[in-house]
Amino acid sequence: MRKHIVAGNWKLNNTLDQGLALASEIANMVADEVTNGTEVVLGTPYIHLAAVQKLTQKTANIHIAAQDCSTHESGAYTGEVSAAMVASTGAGYVIIGHSERREYHNESDEMLATKINMALKNSLTPIFCCGESLQIRESGTHENYVCQQITESLFHLSANEFKNLVIAYEPIWAIGTGKTASAQQAQDMHKAIRNHIAGKLGNAIADTIPILYGGSCKPTNAQELFAQPDIDGGLIGGASLKSRDFVDIVKSF
Ligand code: PEP
């Protein structure tokens, strides 16, 4: 059975104190209420990583993620944070290629391939985001588009490296819009992604890769989405900022 993962993406929200308060609420609720073995990941701003890691390290099944990492190892790159620095905080995951970074920071497929290499080299699990715009969805080319994103940023990896990935399918038209992909639309894309990986690396690898859905996932729709055979969890934006909603999503499996 594949791992179930619910990852929150706090984006540009929460001061250090606010982030610690939120993490503490989530950790308490997870410890008291979550019995389904789902792995919980908190994707915090860089400044929270070390403190949230310390606060949550004793709670089983909680892990910490950065929301990005640099393409560089070190050097004169003001403002950048390397994968090694992320790993040194105790974080185990890093989100790579979120559509907001692709759009506002012009992150190309090629740049994302380098970030994936940096993450793996530093023993971080990348949560690789892919997804199409509304225009591409309406043109009917969405499956080819998303599979191409995967080819360009991930297919240079060996089977052994690929096994360490998590993929998040996030249709851009569903992120922060309140408009969720239907469970069937999400399942169809997750299946297409898994088939694409199987075509390159075989079913044995494809069947082990967790593929998360992201895009206006809430306690009211998580159960139906997570019931789909190829949906292994969620990447949660807005609802990850409310401890009750986030933990209710974790409990939806
Ligand atoms: C996201 O940004 O990764 C996301 C899924 O956001 P939201 O849940 O707010 O749509």
Rounded distance between C-alpha atoms, residue 218 and residue 220, angstroms: 5
Domain annotation covers residue 15: no
- 174 CA: nearest ligand 1 atom: 10
The pLDDT of residue 159 is 97
Does ligand 1 come within 6 angstroms of the Cβ of 9?
yes
Task: Identify the bridge partners of residue 235 per DSSP, sorted by sequence position.
Answer: 7, 214
Does ligand 1 come within 6 angstroms of the Cβ of 7?
no
Domain annotation covers residue 253: no
The residue-averaged pLDDT of 38-46 equals: 98
Contact yes or no for 41/63 (Cβ under 8 A)? yes
Q: What is the pLDDT of residues 182-240, one digit of tens each?
A: 999 999 999 999 999 999 999 999 999 999 999 999 999 999 999 999 999 999 999 99
Domain annotation covers residue 42: no
Q: What is the pLDDT of residues 136-161, one digit of tens each?
A: 999 999 999 999 999 999 999 999 99
**Tokens 């190309």 — which residue?**
108
The pLDDT of residue 177 is 86
Query: How many Cβ atoms from other residues are within 10 Å of residue 214's Cβ?
Result: 27
**% the chain with pLDDT above 70:** 100
220 CB-near residues (< 8 Å, 6+ apart) = none
Domain annotation covers residue 32: no
Burial class (CB within 10 angstroms; exposed 0-12, middle 13-18, buried 19+) of 113: buried
User: Of residues 107, 142, 170, 196, which has the active-site annotation?
Assistant: 170
Judged by DSSP in three states, 99 sits in helix
Domain annotation covers residue 125: yes
Domain of residue 177, CATH code: 3.20.20.70
- pLDDT classification of 179: cutoffs 50, 70, 90: confident
